[in-house]
Amino acid sequence: MTPRRRRRRHGCPAILVGITGSIGVGKSTALAAFRSSGARVLDADDDARAVVRPGGRTLRAISDAFGSDLIAPDGTLRRGTLAERVFGKPLLVERLNQITHPAIRRRLRRRILRLCADSPADSVIAVEIPLLFESGLESWFDTVVVIGADRQTQIHRLVNRDACSAEVAAIRITAQWSFERKAELADLVVNNNGSLRKFERSIQLLCRNLVEARRTASQE
């Protein structure tokens, strides 16, 4: 459970951990387990929601690129409609990413730096980023953890969570980078096919190992 040591490129005194993986594998559950283990945590989805706030520049750019009907009467983004409009269309997805990702990265980076400014060297900051590898953000972190689950487990979770059909769930999974592709780039893979308690214990052990490895390295 001890990952290889990644070359640090960020200057943060704390241990920065990136959490990623496909849809329905339990990334948010992993983030909660890190929190319960004493880590400070951030979720990039919070930044994705914040950058499309009503009246903002990013929301205006989305409206210009994909249609003004995406803006609801109260000024908020019709996220479901946008997702339906770009799903399965790589060129449109790439255009949307070009609009949103720079703003998301800037905001997330600022939040990480704020946590780094008052975090000790043997503490952990865990950040959930669904598109971590797709966005080329692995150099931000000391350790990148990919959460994995078998396909049937993913489908079952999506059906229960989003009230969609198994066919729709499978299509959504296939549209993302595969687990195998992400696992090859990861420092560590944690599987989430079993019980919640077992998964939480795996994350807690990982968190302890990260701190112990940092303390050992500081004494070398």
Q: What is the pLDDT of residue 9?
A: 57
Q: What is the pLDDT of residue 215?
A: 87
Q: What is the pLDDT of residue 101?
A: 95
Query: Which of 81-85, 121-125, 213-217 comes out lowest in average pLDDT?
Result: 213-217
Average of per-residue pLDDT across 89-96: 94
Binned at pLDDT 50, 70 and 90, residue 33 comes out as very high
Is-contact 205 1, C-beta < 8 A? yes
* Tens digits of residue pLDDT in 56-92: 999 999 999 999 999 999 999 999 999 999 988 999 9
Q: Per-residue b/e over 9-39, b at no fewer than 16 CB within 10 Å?
A: eeebebbbbbbbbbbbbbbeebbbbbeebeb
Q: What is the pLDDT of residue 1?
A: 47
Mean pLDDT score of the chain: 92
Average of per-residue pLDDT across 37-41: 96
Q: What is the pLDDT of residue 2?
A: 44
* Tens digits of residue pLDDT in 189-207: 999 999 999 999 999 999 9
Q: What is the pLDDT of residue 106?
A: 96
Is-contact 1 206, C-beta < 8 A? yes
Whole-model pTM: value is 0.91
Written in H, E and C, the secondary structure of 97-114 is: HHHHHHHHHHHHHHHHHH
User: What would the DSSP string read from start to end of 110-164?
Assistant: HHHHHHHHT--TT-EEEEE-TTTTTTT-GGG-SEEEEEE--HHHHHHHHHHHH--
Q: What is the pLDDT of residue 10?
A: 65
Binned at pLDDT 50, 70 and 90, residue 158 comes out as very high
Query: Which of 36-40, 72-76, 120-124 comes out lowest in average pLDDT?
Result: 120-124
What tokens appear for 14 in the block?
């704390």
